[in-house]
Structure 1
Amino acid sequence: MPRILTDAYRDSRFFIPYTEDKSEGVTIKPLTESTMFKLRDEAAKEGGADDNMSMSIFNRKMLQTCITDWAGFYDAAGKELPCTPEVIKELCECDPEFASGLLLRIRAVARIGILEEQKN
């Protein structure tokens, strides 16, 4: 039976694990429809008439808005990456496939995420 995100959990924090032992993953706050509409409008204004640019900006804004922390994210040389809006922007620009996969996980947070207070 699928777990569905409800209003009671819209302000909760969820951990989406990338490893079985939960040592690596992202902590996010869910994206509500109203938040996504607001971000889509901002992206359209910023991207202008270029639909592809607006969609890229929208995806970046969604990640920057909902990701509150992460653990186990490293660059190609093995240096740990801090969870900042600038690093998220760089992730979107340089590794769009990973960013797209992360967005899919975030959209399914109620089904694959763990409430932050239940993580440990």
Structure 2
Amino acid sequence: MRFDLNNLNPGTWLDIDESKPEDGAICLRVLNDDTRRKLHKKHTSRKFVRGRQLEELSEPAFYADMWDYCILDWKGICDADGKPVPCTAANKALLMAESPVFANIVSGLLDHLNIEAARRAEEAEKN
């Protein structure tokens, strides 16, 4: 098995609808544990209350960064006028937070990537 040590978690292009590839595609990568911990730490504030340290996670900022990491690019995502929506951090966060359809598509595609990664790992262990 080969690994690109300069890019251990590359993106994978997935059609939004496999039966209609012309509808667009999204380039995704899975959120690995190390990156999840780093993002959690980045968006967690700590304060002392009555001698006890409390942690508070800024969920909107955490999720915005998480989606920015996982969604690398897209094709065929357009606004109501048919104009392409740029793949920016702000647009990723907006679509994931406000569009149940988009969020379900991305979540389903990420589930597919996770299942495929687990299958490959299992296959590699057998060999």
TM-score relative to the length of structure 2: 0.61
- Matched ranges for 1:87-98 at <5 A: 87-95=91-99, 97-98=100-101
CA 1:55–1:108: 2 relative to 1, 3 Å:
farther
2:16 paired residue number: 18
Larger CA deviation: 20-29 vs 67-76: 20-29
Question: 1-side partners of 2:65 and 2:111: how far apart?
Answer: 14
SS in 1 for 2:44: helix
- The superposition leaves residues 62-113 of structure 1 with CA deviations (integer Å, 9 ceiling, x where unpaired) of 1101221101111122221011112213324432x24542245324414379
Question: 1-side partners of 2:75 and 2:114: how far apart?
Answer: 20
Considering Cα pairs closer than 8 Å and 6+ residues apart, tell me whether 1 or 2 has the greater RCO: 1
Question: 2-side partners of 1:28 and 1:76: how far apart?
Answer: 24
Cα offset for 1:58? 2.1
Question: 1-side partners of 2:56 and 2:102: how far apart?
Answer: 20
TM-score relative to the length of structure 1: 0.63
Aligned residues: 103
Percent sequence identity over aligned pairs: 21
1:83 paired residue number: 87
What's the Cα RMSD here? 3.2
1:3 paired residue number: none
More strand per residue: 1 or 2?
Answer: 2
Which structure 1 residue ranges, 5 or more long, are not aligned? 1-7, 114-120
CA contact (8 A) 2:26 2:73 kept: yes
* Bigger Rg, structure 1 or 2: 2
SS in 1 for 2:59: helix
